[in-house]
Amino acid sequence: MNKVLPSLLASDFTRLGEEIEKMETAGADIFHLDIMDGQFVPNISYGLPVVQAIAEKTTIPLDVHLMTHQPEQFIAGFAEMGVEMVSFHVEATAHPHRVMQLIHNQGMKAGIALNPHTPISNIKHLLSEIDFVLIMTVNPGYGGQTFINACVDKIEELSEMRKQSGYVFEIEVDGGINNETAEICRNAGASLFVSGSHLFKSDDWKRAVDALKG
Ligand code: DX5
Ligand code: ZN
């Protein structure tokens, strides 16, 4: 089933509580939280105290997208807050399998994120155990960028591997997702749609969420 994950990076931080409520009423399935460290990506977003506040406020699950080096240092903290999904970048650690195990040991769903240039072959041996693969369709670090079409091939490749293997991971897409690019990704096999600027700038959030679900 297709799910829509608003990225709170695009929300009005001065009215975060109200925007969370409004997006929930609009039918959002899961909130996507972007954690940046100013090292792995050239930007800093927000950290654990803000995630804690969001976790206390929201009634829907949270998906934490770690754009940080040493992702393992934050995992236990997110588990304590009740976060359901955590993804980390394969480019950010020498031991992706161990990080995946840490996330699982804390009772959360584990996702592996890939920058636009990273081939699917890099994560082939995680696919039997991973819960979802996050295909970045922009370079991580900023909202509001343009979708990179070359990433669609990777969604198709992953989808084909899933069919051949019988594995059950989901495919999440993140970056430049709007009605048009969501449809392209949906047709290629994605089912989790992260959207920041497109969704938050829409006049009618409910209609925008419904449209992304397809
Ligand atoms: C980018 C983040 C995204 C970002 C998406 O590094 O991972 O989640 O918020 O924003 P849009 O939808 O505006 O491209
Ligand atoms: Zn993200």
Q: Using CA atoms, how far apart are residues 44 and 66, in angstroms rounded to an integer?
A: 11
H helix runs in 149-196, sequence order: 152-165, 179-188
- Our answer on whether the CB atom of 89 is closer than 6 Å to any ligand 1 atom is no
Residues that are catalytic:
34, 174
pLDDT, residue 88, reads 98
- Our answer on whether the CB atom of 174 is closer than 6 Å to any ligand 1 atom is yes
Q: Using CA atoms, how far apart are residues 101 and 199, in angstroms rounded to an integer?
A: 33
Q: Using CA atoms, how far apart are residues 121 and 99, in angstroms rounded to an integer?
A: 18
Ligand 1 pocket mutation pick from 8, 35, 142 by most atoms within 8 angstroms of CB: 142
Q: Using CA atoms, how far apart are residues 62 and 174, in angstroms rounded to an integer?
A: 15
Give first-to-last CA distance, the chain, whole Å.
10
Q: Using CA atoms, how far apart are residues 25 and 205, in angstroms rounded to an integer?
A: 9
pLDDT, residue 178, reads 98
- Our answer on whether the CB atom of 43 is closer than 6 Å to any ligand 1 atom is no
* 3-state SS assignment for residue 142: coil
User: pLDDT tens digits, the chain, 214 residues: what are they?
Assistant: 999 999 999 999 999 999 999 999 999 999 999 999 999 999 999 999 999 999 999 999 999 999 999 999 999 999 999 999 999 999 999 999 999 999 999 999 999 999 999 999 999 999 999 999 999 999 999 999 999 999 999 999 999 999 999 999 999 999 999 999 999 999 999 999 999 999 999 999 999 999 999 9
